Amino acid sequence: MAAEWETVIGLEVHAHLKTRTKMFCRCELEYGAAENTRTCPVCLAHPGALPVPNGKAIEHTILLGLALDCEIASHAVFARKNYFYPDLPKGYQISQYEAPLCGRGTFALPTAGGERTIGITRAHLEEDAAKTVHTGGATGRSVGASASLVDFNRGGTPLLEIVTEPDLRSADEAMWFLRLLRQTIVELGISDAEMEKGTLRADVNVSVRRTGEEGYRPRWEIKNMNSFTFVGRAIEAAARRQVAAHEAGEELVQSTYDYDPDTDRLTVHRSKEEADDYRYFPEPDLVPVEPPAELVERLRGLVGERPAERIRRIEQAIGFDGAVELVTTGKDVSAEWLVVEGVPWRTAANVVMNRGPFLRENAGALAQIINAGVVRAAADKAFSLSALGPIDAGDYLGQTALSDESALEPVVDGVIAANPEQVETYRGGKEGVLGFLVGQVMRETQGKADPKVVNRLLREKLQA
């Protein structure tokens, strides 16, 4: 893209909340259950059936709001969002409109070049629609399908929607934000947020403008993205097309698009509806939600140190990329157990990235083993057993590398005496044979010799 254009991106992220039952009825949530076996009169919208809100879903939403530094509403209102679609049996979705549970907040996004502040517009609670499956067509879409089937199991699943301000400026930044937001959601324990299972989805709003330009040009909304990579590619495709259109003097209109990752193409879904089209009004069957201050304070205590904060703290010890890798894999937690026991950060990071998980109770013993420089085979054994039960550092601490020259010298001399051919080859200029001689010393010492010391001794003696 020409340098004088910048991309403006906002996200609407949907996460299925991890609750036992649906948002407004007692149907159990089970991913992969047989079609239409998790339904009842409430979520199928039988006449006279009344919704009862799921308290756990409300708590989860407040928890997320606190983690995003949102204002938590003292008075939130459920609203009806009216539209007609086969996967919506009531003819409306219960959502939140004017009075969401979570108002304005911020997300401090760590980057290699400092911190970016991404505004959170709101986070609210709603119910998901059912799932429509189109069959018989070539594309899996409604066009050309011979039948469209609806699975109501998903209908009524508690859904958290997080809306950002248009503060993101590139596809990479949007993907990074999304990954870190996902990590935050997962760590709070409120959702599995797995894109491949559809429990995390994102709508992406994209527009472009000249660098330095105030205000925004018409945006395209790309719906229902279910992979981080596709989010990035869709943003780039939309920005490319918009820049080309603006430069050609074409008038762009605000529209909704579908992105096809196979062809990298965007196709118009529908012209963007305005909020008026949904005829929002307060849900008459539900009283407003007024979270007690004690509840909000109790939840605040559960937020803990957020992934973005941990990256900023850990990057001071091991750099940004290492901190990102540790935190986004969730491995920083076990690295920190070792650090607390006196292992330097960089060593702890390497250890947890390269070895399997271990029980927290073994952190002290493992730290002793690491810091003592125990030989590799013994350390490997200690780590593999440390995932299964308590280990005793004393079983391993004796197996440290042999680096005492006076102890190693006789072994080195013996190896030189026993391998005259290799010694001649080395002296003839083929230094590669040194590795063989080092190997012999290692074998003689059952792997305990410090290879650096052996290397140096051998070189000294062979040059003599």
Measured in degrees and rounded to the nearest 5, phi and psi for residue 167 equal -105, -5
Q: Is 29 in the site for Zn ion (CB under 5 A)?
A: no
Output the CA–CA distances (angstroms, integers) from residue 107 to 21, 82, 119, 124, in the order listed: 30, 31, 6, 16
Taking CB under 5 A as the criterion, the residue among 27, 175, 314, 454 binding Zn ion is: 27
Q: Would you count residue 43 as binding Zn ion (CB under 5 A)?
A: yes
Adjacency order of strands within the sheet including 92-96? 92-96, 78-82, 281-282
User: Nearer Cβ to Zn ion, position 100 or 155?
Assistant: 155
Cα 463 to Cα 114, 408, 429, distances in angstroms: 52, 18, 11
Q: Give the β-pairing of 131-135 and 114-127.
A: unpaired
Binding Zn ion (rule: CB under 5 A), the pick from 40, 145, 359, 397 is 40
**Total residues binding Zn ion (CB under 5 A):** 5
Neighbouring C-beta atoms of residue 400, cutoff 10 Å = 15
Residue with smaller CB distance to Zn ion, 45 or 372: 45
Verify binding: residue 25, Zn ion, rule CB under 5 A. yes
Task: Give the nearest distance from C-beta 33 to Zn ion in angstroms.
Answer: 13
276, amino acid identity: D
**1 binds Zn ion, rule: CB under 5 A:** no
Give the shortest CB-342-to-Zn ion separation in angstroms.
54
Pair of tokens at residue 88:
């919506």
**Nearer to Zn ion (CB atom), residue 40 or residue 359:** 40
Instruction: Give the nearest distance from C-beta 32 to Zn ion in angstroms.
Output: 17
Extended strands (E) in 167-316:
200-210, 220-225, 255-260, 265-271, 281-282
Contact flag: residue 125 with Zn ion (CB under 5 A):
no
Count the neighbouring beta carbons within 10 Å of the beta carbon of residue 255. 16
CB of 77 to Zn ion, least distance (A): 22
359 near Zn ion, judged by CB under 5 A: no
Task: Quote the least distance from Cβ 49 to Zn ion, whole Å.
Answer: 9
Is the CB of 17 or the CB of 327 nearer to Zn ion? 17
Burial class (CB in 10 A: 0-12, 13-18, 19+), 241: middle
Phi, psi of 457 (to 5 degrees): -60, -45
Per CB under 5 A, the segment of 36-44, 163-171, 317-325, 339-347 that binds Zn ion is 36-44
Query: Of the ranges 37-45, 119-127, 217-225, 396-404, which one interacts with Zn ion (CB under 5 A)?
Result: 37-45
Scan residues 66-105 and list those touching Zn ion (CB under 5 A). Answer: none
- For 241, residues 6+ apart whose C-beta sits below 8 A from its C-beta are 266
Task: Please report which helix (H) or strand (E) contains residue 93, including its range.
Answer: strand 92-96
Residue 156 C-beta: closest distance to Zn ion, Å = 6
Under the binding rule (CB under 5 A), the answer on residue 150 touching Zn ion is no
Least spacing, CB of residue 43 vs Zn ion, in Å: 3
For Zn ion, the closer of residues 22 and 122 by Cβ is 22
d(CA 362, CA 387): 8
Among 19-27, 311-319, 368-376, 429-437, which window interacts with Zn ion (CB under 5 A)? 19-27
- In the complex, the smallest distance separating the C-beta of residue 94 from Zn ion, rounded to whole angstroms, is 13
In the region spanning residues 321 to 350, those forming contacts with Zn ion, defined by CB under 5 A, are: none
Give the whole-angstrom CA distance, residue 198 versus residue 349: 32
Q: Which residues bind Zn ion (CB under 5 A)?
A: 25, 27, 40, 42-43
